[in-house]
Amino acid sequence: MASTADIKNGVVLSIDGQLWNVIEFQHVKPGKGGAFVRTKLKNVVSGKVVDRTYNAGAKIDIENVDRRDFTYLYNDGDSFVFMDVADYDQLQVPAAVVGDAKNFMLENQQVQIALNNDNPLYVELPASVVLEITYTEPGLQGDRSSAGTKPATVETGYEIQVPLFLETGTRVKVDTRTGDYLGRVN
């Protein structure tokens, strides 16, 4: 068992059987009364963010979460297969754990997977990826300078909004957190 003195950003706590990542913390020593630690925690699985306060010196349960580099190999129906870049072991990750990351993953792409007791918790992608547009409606003459957007399907099958002047075959940079178009890539 650890105490509140061990709380740092990025530490994963086990609370009521769920894993919570410490986003930020603040040690507070008021004028009168005991010191306490104010934390902002994010659920590792659901992404829910909560505030929680602990008395200084309270016992907490810190979990060991190992973030390792993997290469995405292929989709095997209801699971995704990754290869550990360190020892070349293959890991099957259920589609529920991969979540929205599947919309931005191409074969042979580098990702980070957080593991707790060899169980995958979540897949972490780079902040942006480069994808090719496989289908979009052609832009109309005169639409080149307007700020309008149109739907475009990228090579993973995910649909994003792009400016009207982009055409099929164009490579674009996409934000993996929001799915937003960031720019054209040559």
Share of the chain above pLDDT 90, in %: 60
- Strand-pairing partners, residue 161, are 151
Total number of domains constituting the chain: 3
Residues 119 and 73 in one domain: yes
Residues 100 and 138 in one domain: no
How far is it, in rounded angstroms, from Cα 92 to Cα 95?
9
Q: What is the mean pLDDT of the chain?
A: 89
* Type of residue numbered 45: V
Domain of residue 171, CATH code: 2.40.50.140
pLDDT single digits (tens) 17-62: 899 989 999 999 998 889 999 999 999 878 899 999 999 999 999 9
Fill in the DSSP letter of residue 162.
E
Residues 114 and 151 in one domain: no
